[in-house]
Amino acid sequence: DTRNMQEGTFGYWYRIFAGSRGTLQQGMQYSYASRHTWQGIGDPLTGLGGSPKAIDNMVFTSFRYYFPK
């Protein structure tokens, strides 16, 4: 069961070419996601509690070509 989830993201678009033959753009995005669960029973022999978590770093990129009107 998920206790909380956090995500942060940022990115940009860069116009490489814009003219009579169309527009070419390149974009990039970085995203960080973290998921925490509820505190578990843990290990009774050591007394340490257990709370699983997951972290994911993602990078996306794309190129776009827009046809002229």
Min mean pLDDT across 4-8, 43-47, 51-55 is at 43-47
| pTM recorded for the entire structure | 0.70
In DSSP terms, 31 is beta-bridged to: 9, 58
pLDDT in tens, 28-37: 999 999 998 8
Residue 42 CB coordination number (10 Å): 12
Q: Does residue 2 register a pLDDT over 80?
A: yes
Q: Which residue has the higher pLDDT, 25 or 50?
A: 25
Q: State the SS3 of 16-56.
A: EEEECCEEEEEEEEEEEEEEEECCCCCECCCCECCCCEEEE
Q: Is the distance from CB of 41 to CB of 52 less than 8 angstroms?
A: no
